Amino acid sequence: MITKELQAIWWEWLGHSERLLRSLHEQTAAVMLRDVERVERLQPEIERQISGLKEIDERAVACAKGLAEKLGCKPTFRSLVDALEQDEAREVHAVANRVKAAAQTVQSVVEKNQSLIENELAYVAGSLHLLAKATENKEGAFGTRTHAAVLLDQTA
């Protein structure tokens, strides 16, 4: 089996992606609960895990190119699979499909979390805008200047 190293790298990638998904789901929960400290604590770990996946990707690409040279085929997945024996090609294809599915899942959760974070930032920016606008108003609860503690009204 000449693809043993490539398959091992892909299995390593799958394990790493599972750990990343756990962290991403924890990030989703933290954003939805508006737990800023938890989001800030998770972010470096998520970035480290994503860079780890990129490193594993680079190793897999290098290994696949080496296999293509060894087999005398083009450095594409399709030509690599075509150059392998049928049983081994089936195994490689199955693992590749798992990697592809996991990559799509990771990508969708990352995009969802980015959207949630952007929405929270827009909400905070809108709230701050309303507060600033209310303080500039000369009439109403914020119209008179005082040194007393100010409570936010429902507009904010």
**C-alpha R_g of the chain:** 25
Residue 150 within any structural domain of the chain = no
Q: pLDDT averaged over the chain?
A: 88
Structure tokens at 43: 């972010």
Mean pLDDT, range 20-32, rounded to an integer: 96
Number of domains in the chain: 1
What is the greatest pairwise CA distance in the chain?
A: 83
Residue 88 within any structural domain of the chain = yes
Q: How many helices (H) and strands (E) does the chain have?
A: 4, 0
Residue 92 within any structural domain of the chain = yes
What pLDDT digit, counting tens, does each position of 91-135 carry?
A: 999 999 999 999 999 999 999 999 999 988 888 878 877 777 777
User: pLDDT-derived band of residue 75, with 50, 70 and 90 as boundaries?
Assistant: confident
Give the pLDDT score at 156: 47
Residue 136 within any structural domain of the chain = no
> Which positions ≥6 away from 24 have C-beta within 8 Å?
46, 106, 109, 110, 113
Domain span including residue 8: 4-111
Residue 55 within any structural domain of the chain = yes
pLDDT for residue 16 is more than 90: yes
Residue 127 within any structural domain of the chain = no
Alpha carbon dihedral 61, 66, 72, 76, in 10-degree steps, equals 0
Tell me if 116 sits within 8 A of 28, measured CB to CB.
yes
Structure tokens at 49: 């895990």
User: pLDDT-derived band of residue 141, with 50, 70 and 90 as boundaries?
Assistant: low
Structure-model confidence comparison of residues 136 and 149, the more confident one:
136
Phi, psi of 149 (to 5 degrees): -65, 140
Closest CA relative to residue 80, chosen from 91, 88, 68: 68
Residue 34 within any structural domain of the chain = yes
Give the pLDDT score at 35: 92
Asked whether the CA dihedral 22, 24, 30, 33 is positive or negative, the reply is negative
Give the pLDDT score at 41: 96
What pLDDT digit, counting tens, does each position of 38-51 carry?
A: 999 999 999 999 99
Residue 132 within any structural domain of the chain = no
